[in-house]
Amino acid sequence: MTVEVVLLGTGNPLPDPARAGAATLVRAGDKTILVDAGRGVCMRLATAGVLPLMLDAVLVTHLHSDHICDLNDVLTTQWVMSPTSRPLPLFGPEGTGAVVEGIMAMLGPDISYRRAHHADLDWDPQFELTEAAPGVLSDDSGVRITAARTDHRPVDSTLAFRVEHDGQAVVMAGDTVPCAGLDELCAGADIYVQTVLRDDLVSLVPMQRFRDTIDYHSTVEQAATTAARAGVGTLVLTHQVPTPAPGSVDEWTALARRHFDGRVVFGEDLLAITPSSG
């Protein structure tokens, strides 16, 4: 196994006792990479055997709260557990710098308490923040990370990420409708993880605010169409909207199979997927 995806959180913005918020772990070669940091991310990381100080990079697809609401926990825990100052590489779309500044302001009292109490903790949380443009973000130890712009307007900008190692490629897309940037990033990938929505169900919800979400997410069928167009090996459905009813998994995957011949995986928290896993 050279590349593995672990779904840390497959939930949508509505709290769900069985699903943490949007977050995905990628293990590639000797790199451990976190994509998004939604509700409960540090608990799910711990279950997957990863502490924040073990992360080589954090990638943020976009600044909607359900994808970043526990980023503060990742940053704080990385800081308090690190034996020495070790800046955490953090990549996100335009605007990430301002959000992280706000998080640091929120953590100001905590940072001052801990520094006052622990003589050896003589640094603030450290990170190397890059507001990423499309293209290669890093290429180190045989692990290449590439970003592409996606389309989740009015949320702008938004990114999807491709991680490649040893001839294998995985793509993690955040909330987006199908678009050229996503097609390009997904081309020939072994695994494509997409946040999805069922428009047939959401359109029935008697609340306009909920129905509004249809126009800026990929439906299951659109995700499958992207997967087919790009020739990916495995499509993974995550961040399902609405929350799937018990026993409905086959319905979700059947919708995808109408448009995509490859393997379809219905995401559940802590499911690990490799290019060759069954």
175 binds Zn ion, rule: CB under 5 A: yes
Task: Check if 66 is active-site.
Answer: yes
Q: How far is the CB of 164 from Zn ion (least distance, A)?
A: 25
State in angstroms the smallest separation of the CB of 50 from Zn ion: 22
> Residue 239 CB, nearest distance to Zn ion (Å)?
6
User: Min. distance of Cβ 195 from Zn ion in angstroms?
Assistant: 6
Closest contact distance (angstroms) between CB of 68 and Zn ion is 10
The residues, any chain, with a CB within 8 Å of residue 11's CB and separated by 6 or more, are 19, 20, 21, 22, 38, 39, 66, 239, 243, 269
Binding residue for Zn ion, selected from 31, 41, 55, 66, defined by CB under 5 A: 66
- Tokens 């499958």 belong to 224
Instruction: Look up tokens 């592409």; give the residue.
Output: 148
**One symbol per residue from 139 to 158: x for binding Zn ion (CB under 5 A), - otherwise; what is it?**
--------------------
Select which of 66, 70, 73, 190 is catalytic: 66
Contact residues for 55 (Cβ-Cβ < 8 A; gap 6+): 32, 33, 34, 74, 78, 88
Under rule CB under 5 A, residue 213 binds Zn ion: no
Nearest distance from residue 223's CB to Zn ion, in Å? 14
CA-based nearest residue to 41, from 78, 87, 84: 78
- Part of the chain binding Zn ion (CB under 5 A), chosen from 46-54, 175-183, 223-231, 258-266: 175-183
Q: How many residues bind Zn ion (CB under 5 A)?
A: 3
Options 3-11, 48-56, 59-67, 227-235: segment touching Zn ion (CB under 5 A): 59-67
Toward Zn ion, which CB reaches closer, 3 or 173?
A: 173
Query: Which span sits near Zn ion by CB under 5 A: 64-72, 97-105, 143-151, 229-237?
Result: 64-72
Largest CA distance in the chain: 61
Q: Would you say how long the chain is, in residues?
A: 278
**Which run of H or E residues covers position 91?**
strand 88-92
| From 64, 144, 229, 257, residue interacting with Zn ion (rule: CB under 5 A) | 64
The tokens describing 91, both together, are 């990549």
Q: Closer to Zn ion at the Cβ: 39 or 263?
A: 39
Distances (CA, A) of 57 to 87, 144, 232, 272: 10, 12, 24, 19
Site string for Zn ion, 122-141 (x = CB under 5 A): --------------------
- The Cα 137–Cα 179 span in angstroms is 20
> What span, in angstroms and rounded, lies between the C-alpha atoms of 211 and 257?
24
Element (H, E) at 229: helix 220-230
Regarding 99 and contact with Zn ion (CB under 5 A), the answer is no
Give the catalytic positions in this structure.
66
* Interaction site with Zn ion (CB under 5 A): 64, 66, 175
